[in-house]
Structure 1
Amino acid sequence: MNADELARTRARALYDAREKREPIPPFTDEDPSLGMADGYAIQRELVTMLLADGDHVLGHKVGLTAAPMQRLLGVDSPDYGPVLASATYTDGDTVELDRFIAPKVEAEIVFVLGERLEGPGVTTERAREAVAAARAGLEIVDSRIEDWRIKLADTVADLASMGAVVLSERVVPLSELDPRLIGMVLTRDGALVDTGAGAAALGDPVAVVAWLANTLGENGVALNAGDLVMTGSLHAAVPMRAGDTFTAEFDRLGSVTVRVG
């Protein structure tokens, strides 16, 4: 089996795991040599399968933007995956727990692109010019890999562990914000769970956009006006349970809530 066929076979395994809600062993158990490039090859095949089902991509999520997570997986760079329309919710929605395998919630700053942005060579300053606005967001991360036993290639292949996204209705122009200084408080059923600040994401969430544009640009892909960019968790991911209500309150951006059914 050549590399392309192997990528398709592994993508099909992830596709089936998503459909059946049954996790699979890590690909890196079978082949410890798998790296980031192998993971993206599998991810591309998986996205092709999902788009063939009628889904479409609204933007990108960037993960591993916090130093502790990079150290955990032994990497020095973020990763990315698609934001799928079928997995996008609005403030106050109820998300059914049985849609996922082992979901966790993360609070993030979400940007909306105002113009096309294409790497390489994109600086943080150029990215700032291209971002139109920011929104409060909650990402539900999920792993189709058994017990979250992921290494880098596993999570990259698995859409960077994307589960779902919950977006605030409020949209704030970036010109009114310094994203580094945006504070966040996460509560579950009104009780404090964690706090964070924008600078947790690569030191500046706008730098996440620059990184993404340059990384995509290496493959001839650009960010376009209207694209969403999830800039990475501001705290440690929190497991979700049926009946939970999570609210992330952001300075300047307002709040966003998700209920777990």
Structure 2
Amino acid sequence: MAWDVASVGADLLRCEDERVDRAPFTDEWPELDLATGYEIQDRNLQARLDRGETLVGIKLGLTSKAKQQRMGIDVPFVAWLTDAMVLPAGDPVPQSRLIHPRIEPEIVFVMGRELTGPGVSCATAMRAVESVWGGAEIIDSRYRDFRFKAGDVAADNASSGVFVTGPVGLPPSGLDLTLEAALVEVDGQIVDSATGAAVLGHPGEALALAANELAKRGHVIKPGWIVLTGGMTDAVPAPPSSSTAMHFTHLGSIFINGGE
């Protein structure tokens, strides 16, 4: 098949809706680069909005060295969040919606002011943040075995699945986000940990990167938006009947049941 922006976008939404995975498109369409992937991502955002979803923010992917090394890709990604991706606190992993869910801890911002690139610095970005939360993203991928290149993953909305935020929101002025730690607990055992410094040196750098990258595509970060700044650690599998928790230094704990 001769793939193009429209057909790749439609097939990714089909895979998501039918809960099936596939080989990366770059196996057949090596010209699918990062810019084309973002074009597909924006096209599919419009398709989501047309079917009734509401845009609530953005997410970053591959902002930590742990995630970049695992995926073999050395650039971060920006993608969209809609209300359909919100997992209410206490709900289990929605196994019936996801193909191969994996969970990672994230530092989450709620925006107080508009943030417009280019030229946004970490300091400028943080002045636009209203509150900071602990979060967990349950990532998924429409690609078999999470195998993809940059254009593939950008088109796939940076492996979006669902996300949940924790119980504690604090003003950024009272936190040192480079030192804010997260412990990852799976079935009662601590399996990984990291601090906010794992996210491009400071989560505010991820926010600045997002503002500057979105500006290239004609977008701004709006007040009230949720921003997931990227996995602090590598993601852990979330099979049925598992139990996962993310424990933050000041931002509380998040407990996620693997569901059935």
Q: TM-score range with shorter-chain normalisation?
A: over 0.9
How far, CA to CA, are the matches of 1:75 and 1:246 in structure 2? 26
Equivalent-residue separation in structure 1 for 2:129 and 2:117 (angstroms)? 15
Q: Any residues of structure 2 matched to 1:56-95 within 5 Å, and which?
A: 56-71=54-69, 73=71, 75-95=73-93
Compute the TM-score of the two structures, normalised by the length of structure 2.
0.95
Letter in 2 for 1:241: P
CA contact (8 A) 2:67 2:231 kept: no
Partner residue in 1 for 2:30: 32
Q: Secondary structure at the match of 1:179?
A: coil
Please give the residue correspondences for 1:86-105 in structure 2 after superposition, counting only pairs within 5 Å: 86-105=84-103
**Alignment CA distance shift 1:202-1:252 (3 Å):** same
Tell me the equivalent position of 1:115.
Answer: 113
User: Is the contact made by 1:87 and 1:164 (CA closer than 8 Å) also made in structure 2?
Assistant: yes
Q: Structure 2 CA distance, aligned partners of 1:96 and 1:105?
A: 12
After superposing the two structures, state which structure 1 stretch, 62-71 or 114-123, moved more.
62-71
The whole-number CA distance in structure 1 between the counterparts of 2:180 and 2:201 is: 12
Distance of 2:73 and 2:100 partners within structure 1? 23
Whether 1:186 aligns to 2:178 is no
C-alpha distance 75-99 of structure 1, shift in aligned 2 (>3 A): closer
1: CA distance between counterparts of 2:114 and 2:76? Answer: 22
Q: Output the aligned Cα RMSD.
A: 1.7
Any residues of structure 2 matched to 1:214-229 within 5 Å, and which?
214-229=212-227
| Cα-to-partner distance string for 1:55-102 (whole Å, 9 max, x where unaligned) | 111111101111243355554431011112111123322222121011
In structure 2, runs of 5+ residues without a counterpart are none
The alpha-carbon distance between structure 1 residues 72 and 191, as it changes in their structure 2 partners (threshold 3 A), is closer
Provide TM-score, normalisation by structure 1.
Answer: 0.94
User: Retained in 1: the 8 A contact 2:70–2:234?
Assistant: no
AA in 1 matched with 2:33: G
Query: Contact 1:201 / 1:208 at 8 angstroms: preserved in 2?
Result: yes
- Would the alpha carbon gap of residues 248 and 74 (structure 1) be closer, same or farther in structure 2, given more than 3 Å must change? closer
The percentage of aligned residue pairs carrying the same residue is 37
CA distance in 1, matches of 2:69, 2:234: 13
- 1:137 counterpart SS class: strand
Structure-to-structure mapping, 1:237-248, within 5 angstroms: 237-248=235-246
CA distance in 1, matches of 2:93, 2:237: 14
The match for 1:169 is: 167
Q: Is the 8 A contact 2:105 2:231 kept in 1?
A: yes
Q: Residue type of the partner of 2:202? A: D
> How far apart are 1:104 and its partner, in Å?
0.6
The equivalent residue for 1:197 is 195
- The alpha-carbon distance between structure 1 residues 71 and 242, as it changes in their structure 2 partners (threshold 3 A), is closer
In structure 2, the CA distance between the partners of 1:73 and 1:195, relative to structure 1 (3 Å rule), is closer
Distance 1:76 1:187 in 2: 27
Query: Partners of 1:72 and 1:168 in 2: how far apart?
Result: 26
Match of 2:41 in 1: 43
